[in-house]
Each structure stands twice: as structure tokens, then as C-alpha cells.
Amino acid sequence: MDGRTVVLDELAQGVRPLGEGLSWFEGLADAEQCEVLRMLAEFCLQARATGEDGPESIRRAGIRPTHTPAVLLVRGRIGEQLVKIADLPQDERAKAFRLLVAFLGVADERRRAVFCAGGCGHAWHHVGT
């Protein structure tokens, strides 16, 4: 796994504090922020995130349900909404980052409990251990 992937996995799993991750994200160049948001969106799809994960993700992200990324997330068609969230303008990116990290965390927790309870070989489930 590359360095970005490790950081994102650590954030989603709560191994690394979100505030630290947000500082890291905000220090990236514009194009890199877009890449990271797209990576997070893809990771959420891979973790089989669902619409039911939305409300808990919004709560964990610490954003309001009326913020643009949150509104998009609960509209349905997760794949389409994740693309829209990843492509939000600069002034929405920090909220989008917080939300996608939380969304990945919620989906990954469920996936671990269902599919990986007895152990697994997923490298991202072993970061920080």
C-alpha cells in the first residue's frame, strides 16, 4: 500500500486522529486533494458502503446534514453521489474529506464484522498493528 492509502485507512479505522488527517489533507495541492477524494470514494465503493451508512457517517464526520456533501450522500445511488462529492469545489473539500473518511469507516466496520470476524488477509485491516 502506498503512503496515502495507509493514511486514509488509518483515519477510517480511527488509528490516526481525524484532525491530523484533515491537516494533512488541507496541506495537499489542489490536484492532490481531488485525487484523495476520488480515492476515498473508490474505497467506499469497495467497502460496499450503503445509503444506510449515511446518517451515522454524517454524525461521525461532525458536519451538518444540510452541508452539501451530506445532502448528496443521502440522495441515493451511492456511486453517482460519491463522484459528485469527490468533485465538489475547494470550499467544500474539507467537509467532503471528513464525510468520506467517516463513510469508509462505517462501511468498513460492518464489513469487518460480517466478512472478516474470524480474521482476513486484507492488508488495510492490519495497518497500525
What is the pLDDT at residue 54? 94
Low-confidence residues of the chain: pLDDT under 50:
125-126, 129
Tens of pLDDT along 105-117? 999 998 877 766 5
Task: Report CA dihedral (88, 22, 35, 76) to the nearest 10 degrees.
Answer: -50
Three-state SS string over 1-60 comes to CCHHHHHHHHHHCCCCCHHHHHHHHHCCCHHHHHHHHHHHHHHHHHCCCCHHHHHHHHHH
CA nearest 28: which of 98, 113, 93, 83? 93
What is the pLDDT at residue 125? 45
What is the pLDDT at residue 110? 87
What is the pLDDT at residue 7? 92
What is the pLDDT at residue 120? 54
pTM to 2 decimals? Answer: 0.87
